[in-house]
Structures are given as structure tokens and as C-alpha cells.
Amino acid sequence: MKEYVEQILRNVNTTKVLDFIRKRVRVTKAELAEETTLTFAAISNIINGLLSAGMIKECGEGVSSGGRKPLLYELNSEALYVVGIDVSIDEQIRFGLFTFNTILVHELCMEPPDVKGPKEYIQIIKKGFNSLLEKGKIDDEKILGIGVSIPGPINSSTGEVVSPPNLPLWRNVPLKRMLEEELHIPIKIEKDANLSALGEKWFGAGKEVNNLIYLFVGEGIGSGVILNGTLIGNSEIGHCTIDSAGPRCNCGNYGCLELKASGLAIVKKVKEGLQLGYPSNYPYPSSEQITFSNVLKAIDSQDSFTLRIVDEAANFLGIGLTNVINNFNPDLIIIGGKLAEKYERMLELSAEIARNRAFEVFQKNLSIIPGKLKEKSIIMGAAALVLEDVFGEG
């Protein structure tokens, strides 16, 4: 069946028809012809092919404008499925199973392996994928494809993990090829922040927006850029220079935004402050044992010492946002990630600084808002990455 489906989807008009059905849920042939500007005969041929493939189905009758009532068509949600996988190093690996009409039906998480190399992760991915199929009671023949996130940078066209600064075991790893050899299913690889951007574009805060920037503010800073509705390669806003005299970053540059506004930068500042004797109301462990998790808990407890450091990080984030606005002129900036979600004032402060600094002409139609999808943004973006081949770019 999948070979037949792949043959059908090579026709750009077919993807146009499918996307309109997805967005409208139930449609008639006449509505499709009017929306797509295709002839009624062309629409009929496409509909017949999709019915034969089981990708759509009849779902009742529409309103008649005279004569017989027209048939309504909708996506067959059980025709095919896609899987989204969020490989977050050092955290749980998240899996999501999505129906053909983009509904998340099953989700599970698995612990990462002790050894942080690609071969170990591939075995966990295989185990989680099989568990997901078992949970959904479906055969792998119904899986159209799998979208996988990995910390960047990566080569999206080849599916190769290139040189993530904090993951020495993952340099120049042909992850797409390795996974396809193991799972025998088409794989698409993209970096995590890009998939968060895509997830928000398809399912969240970025619906109907063609020019948006997603900033992930957690332990590190990641970014995803969508311009004219298209995901733009490996943007690394976290590694733009905001302090030319700043310390050296793992990427080789100096004074990167990530060194000033990320969770790890805040951890470093907290350690330094405590060593200098600044008082904190939060019971931090000894300096060498302080983690990003401790910082999040200190924020929860409203520890004034920690909040001052986070506010300083928000100031630098605002400078980074200024560069983003002046360079990309987006309609929407979405800020997500554990740190930004935990401390809402971070978005408020950074947005205020950016609006005071960025060109006024670029701010007329600009919104800076939190993400809607939170921890699900990556698996939903991974699913959208596969579904783009079916429906086009959202």
C-alpha cells in the first residue's frame, strides 16, 4: 500500500487537495475545485485515486444548491500513521504516534542509555518504536515515516549529525541511514529547535503565520526559523555574539548568547555568587553539585538571589531578540523551553528590552509570545516534518 501512496503523493495537485481536506475536515468536490482552481474532472480523478488508496473516505452528504446532494469527503485517520521522536540527550526520549489527520493518539517516554553514543540511542529508539506500535495495535506497514529530533547542528538533506558542540560522540554520525537500516521505515532527521518551530507552526501558536522565529531557552539556547512558510536550515541564534570580550564558547566563538542567557550560564553565575558569599534562601547543594534542575527549583521558591541572576540573563536575551528582529523582521517570535516556561518574567523582560532597541518599523506587526505546545512541541514538529510530504508546508 505504501508504494501506491508514495506514487500518488508525487502529484503536487494531490497534496494540495489533501491539505485542503485536512484544514476543512469535510469537503465536497465542488469546494475543492473552487479552492484549488483545478477542474471538476481533475478533482474527481484525484478523489477516486485517494479513495482507492484508502486515504480518504465518504462521510455523508453536503447541502444541495439544487439537484442531488453532493458527497462529503474526509481524511481516513486510520489509513496511515506517522511517528515523532524527541531524542533529548540526558533526558527522557519521547515518542508520539499520530494519525493521518494529525491527531496525537499515543505517547510514551523512555529513559536514555547510560552510554551517550548513537548506537546505544538507536537501540532505545527501536525498543520505544516497537512499544509504540504495540500500544497503538498497528502494523509497521501503516507507518508512513518517522521524524526524529536531535540537538543540532545537522545536515537535513543527508540526515547526518554534524558536530554538536556538547556531544563529542555524535560528530559526523549518519543517523538517518543507521535508523533506516534498523527500522526499515523512511526517516527524517532535524534539529530539536527547528522541530519546535515546525510544531508551533502546524499545531500551536504559529498557525497561519508564515514568518516566525522559535527560541528554545533551557539549559542551552536553540532556534528555529520559518520564513515564507519554509523551515530554514541550521540557524544558531544561541551562538550569535553579544559580548565580543566574553568567554570562549564550546562552538569556538566568544561571547555567545548561550553563554549569557541560557540555563547553564545561570548555573555558572549561581556557583560564582555563592562562592563569593552572596546569600540565598534556597538550599543549594555544594557548588560543584549545583545543576540546572536546582536553579528551576530555586525559581519556584522565589529565591531573590537566583531571580536577580535570571533577570540579568533576560537582559542579554533581550539583546539577542533585538538582533533577531533587526535581521529577520519576523511576524512572530515564540519563546519556549524549560527556563522560559518556568519564569514567565524572563519573556516579559527580554521582550521589553527588544522593543526598546529594535527598529520600530519591524515591530508594527510583531508579537512575542510563549509557546503553546511546551514539552510536546518537538514530537509534534517531528510528525509535521513527515506530514509535509503529504500536505505541503502546513
pLDDT in tens, 60-109: 988 877 778 999 999 999 889 999 999 987 789 999 999 988 899 999 99
**pLDDT value, residue 318:** 98
How many angstroms separate the CA atoms of 43 and 151, rounded? 42
Instruction: Transcribe 70-81 into DSSP letters.
Output: PEEEEE-TTS-E
- Residues in the chain with pLDDT < 50? none
Instruction: Give the CATH number of domain 2-75.
Output: 1.10.10.10
pLDDT of residue 64: 79
Q: In whole angstroms, how far apart are CA 322 and each of 88, 303, 368, 373, 388?
A: 28, 28, 12, 24, 31
- Of the candidates 108, 158, 129, the residue with the CA atom closest to the CA atom of residue 376: 108
Cis status of the peptide bond prior to 153, with omega within 30 of 0:
yes
pLDDT at 389: 83
Q: pLDDT of 262-289, one tens digit each?
A: 999 999 999 999 999 999 999 999 999 9
Output phi, psi for 155, to 5 deg. -100, 105
The CATH architecture one would assign to domain 81-201+377-391 is 2-Layer Sandwich (3.30)
Instruction: Please give the backbone phi and psi of residue 251, each rounded to the nearest 5 degrees, phi first.
Output: -75, -10
Q: Where in the chain is the domain with CATH 3.30.420.40?
A: 81-201+377-391, 208-371
Euclidean distance between CA atoms 30 and 290, whole angstroms: 63
Q: Where in the chain is the domain with CATH 1.10.10.10?
A: 2-75
- Cβ atoms of residues 61 and 73 within 8 Å: no
Q: Which CATH superfamily is domain 208-371 in?
A: ATPase, nucleotide binding domain (3.30.420.40)
How far is it, in rounded angstroms, from Cα 239 to Cα 230? 22
